[in-house]
Structure formats: C-alpha cells, structure tokens
Amino acid sequence: MQIVSYNLNGIRAAHKKGLVDWLAQYQPTVLCVQETKATENDFNTALLTQLGYHVYWFAAQKKGYSGVAIFTKEKPLEVTHGNGFEQSNAEGRVITAFYKNFALVNAYFPSGTSGDERQTYKYQWLNEMQEYITQLQQKQPNIVLVGDYNIAHTDIDIHDPKGNKNSSGFLPEEKAWMTQFLNSGWVDSFRLLHPEQTGAYTWWSQRFPTVRAQNKGWRIDYICTTKAFAAAVKTAGILPDVKHSDHCPIFITL
C-alpha cells in the first residue's frame, strides 16, 4: 500500500498544471491532499472516480480556504470529519480514514505567517490535535498522521536555519512541540529511513521564483506513524520534481 501526501495550494490550480494526469500515471493506493481551497462541488470528482478512487472531502466553511481530502483505492471501513474542535472543523483541517489494520489521519496544520493571532492559534491547534490523536490511539494504536505540519523540525530540514531562526515554522516553540510529539511515541518516517539526508525539502517559497531551482526549501510536510506501526513502513520518500504546487508530494509504502 502506498500513501502519498500532497499540499496542493488549491486543487483547481493544481489540476490546471496536470495533477490528474500525474495521478493517472503514478497511481498511489491513497492520496491525501491538503489546502484544497474548494468544496467537493467545485471540482469534477468523476476525474478521480474514473481512476478507481473513492473520494472523501472536508472543506472549510470559508470559500477558497484550507480544506483536506482523501482519495483512496481501498475503501475505508469508516471516515470521520474533523478533530472535535470547533475552529479547526470550521477551517476543514482534519479528516480520518479507518482501515482494517490502521487509522489514517490527514491534517493541514495552521500557518502562523500572517501574524501573532494566527501564531497563537497555531500553538492552540497543536495542543488540540495532540489531544485528538492521543484519544484516537485508545481506539486504534496503529496510526499514520500525514500532512502539511507547517514546521521544519531541525536544522537539516531547512536551507537556512540561521536566517530563519525568527520565522514562523521554525520558531523554538514549534520545534520544541515537534520534538515532544515525536518523543511521545511517534516516528517521522522519512527520518527513520533517511536520518542524515540533507537538501530533502517539500516546500519552496513562491515569493522568490528561483528558490525551487536552487533547492532553497523547507521540509514541512510529514508522514509520521505511531511507534507501534513504524515497522510496517518499508519505504519513505519525497518527489521534488512533481510540480503542481509550491509543495511537492511525499510518500510511504506499507
């Protein structure tokens, strides 16, 4: 089973850049997308069902904002929308699919780049999300948590750690949250298999058009598993040459 996670920065914009053609060629078992910026009615989902995917969508209440979706060839036993917290649910940030042997959580973590208010909410959301997945573990100890975490964890996850030490996404409090999250019983699948790899990024700023070609990026997209399920991860990687967004896809095979 291959699981791909991809922040699309707008599914309609990504489609215009060939997303569905790429999906038809690549054919992962599951594609989890973040930042759809659309409702299910805004997109021709027949393009996905024709490829054999079941479509599960969770849009934000605000138009053209946030939103997550799961496209899966293997039909889940159950799908739940949200994480039980009102603001997060209004912003369409979490969708969970339950399979026979594990739960798959697809999440779009908030960004704090627009100012102090959103940075404060980001910290609140991180704590709420950890509460949600801790409760989920009581039901299903095998969990895969994919998504755009909007945090670069360590110096090797960002091209310029010194220059970005005061940037949202690389703040000490955010890195500390990520450290304690992993220490609480979670495994970063990419680092499990590629512990020292540098230059492995998943997002490049659009403010500077040349940075992607120069690979001046951040690794802020992750597929983490509970320790109980980490042994099931056979491969993990990043697809930086796939370009439908300012992010690129990441994947694991189970």
Please report which confidence band the pLDDT of residue 178 belongs to, taking 50, 70 and 90 as the band edges: very high
Q: Which residues are catalytic?
A: 148
pTM for this prediction: 0.98
Mean pLDDT for 115-124 is 97
Please report which confidence band the pLDDT of residue 12 belongs to, taking 50, 70 and 90 as the band edges: very high
Distance between CA atoms of 110 and 148, rounded to whole angstroms? 9
Decide if pLDDT at 47 tops 90: yes
Mean pLDDT for 231-252 is 98
**Rounded percentage of the chain residues whose pLDDT exceeds 90:** 98
Decide if pLDDT at 157 tops 90: yes
Mean pLDDT for 185-189 is 98
What is the per-residue pLDDT for 63? 96
Decide if pLDDT at 120 tops 90: yes
What is the per-residue pLDDT for 251? 98
Domains within the chain, CATH numbers bracketed: 2-253 (3.60.10.10)
Mean pLDDT for 225-236 is 98
What is the per-residue pLDDT for 209? 85
